């Protein structure tokens, strides 16, 4: 079993992941979905990463550590991954100069209007050297497709 660290996007809270958390927990995994301090105007990506790392440190973990981020959360993932490279199984695009040396997957939502699929495909290929996996749906798959998203995350944990 794995521990999934689920990082929400801007204007959201950890609750965003509640349906995916239920799916993952039903499969025997642990989950952590902290609230980022998005309402703090002085906080930025480093503070968001600190919040996530603190939440992970307070959680009893099992198995692999899998980190997933949605939207803005995807920019926080590599900062967290950089601190735990040996344990990380999943991450997404970041503002770091160099991508942490961890297995990386990108899951593209074909109907996303905020991050157009053509843009995500190009960025995944050019910056990460990966071809994204694709599912139907818009920008918030944890709410619209929680079972399918949980299945993908679980598969990524097994693949490493």
**What does the pLDDT average to over 79-107?**
65
Give the range of the structural domain holding residue 13, as residue numbers without chain letter.
3-104+143-159
* Each residue's pLDDT tens digit, 23-42: 999 999 999 999 999 999 99
- Tell me the whole-structure pTM to 2 decimals: 0.81
The total number of structural domains that make up the chain: 1
* 85 burial level (CB within 10 Å; 0-12, 13-18, 19+): exposed
Who has greater pLDDT, 91 or 66?
66
Amino acid 87: pLDDT:
45
Q: Is the residue at 126 inside a domain? A: no
Full DSSP string of 28-53: T-EEE-PPP-TT-TT--HHHHHHHHH
Q: Is residue 154 included in any domain, yes or no?
A: yes
Structure tokens at 14: 């950890």
Nearest-5° angle of CA 53, CA 56, CA 60? 155
Q: In this structure, what CATH number is given to the domain that contains residue 70?
A: 3.40.50.1820
Indicate if the pLDDT at residue 119 is higher than 90: yes
- Give me the mean pLDDT over the 57-67 stretch: 86
The two tokens of residue 61 are: 């973990």
What is the pLDDT, as a whole number, of residue 95? 52
The residue written with tokens 């601190």 in the block is 83
């Amino acid at each position: 079993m794995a521990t999934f660290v689920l990082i929400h996007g801007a204007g959201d809270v950890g609750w965003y992941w509640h349906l995916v958390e239920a799916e993952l927990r039903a499969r025997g995994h642990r989950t952590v979905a902290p609230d980022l301090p998005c309402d703090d105007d002085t906080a930025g990506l480093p503070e968001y990463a600190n919040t996530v790392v603190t939440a992970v440190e307070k959680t009893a973990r099992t198995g692999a550590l899998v980190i997933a981020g949605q939207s803005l959360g995807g920019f926080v993932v590599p900062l967290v991954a950089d601190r735990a490279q040996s344990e990380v199984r999943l991450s997404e695009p970041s503002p770091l100069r160099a991508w942490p040396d961890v297995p990386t997957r990108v899951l593209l939502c074909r109907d996303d209007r905020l991050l157009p699929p053509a843009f995500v495909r190009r960025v995944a290929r050019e910056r990460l050297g990966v071809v994204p996996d694709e599912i139907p749906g818009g920008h918030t798959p944890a709410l619209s497709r929680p079972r399918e998203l949980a299945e993908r995350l679980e598969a990524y944990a097994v693949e490493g």
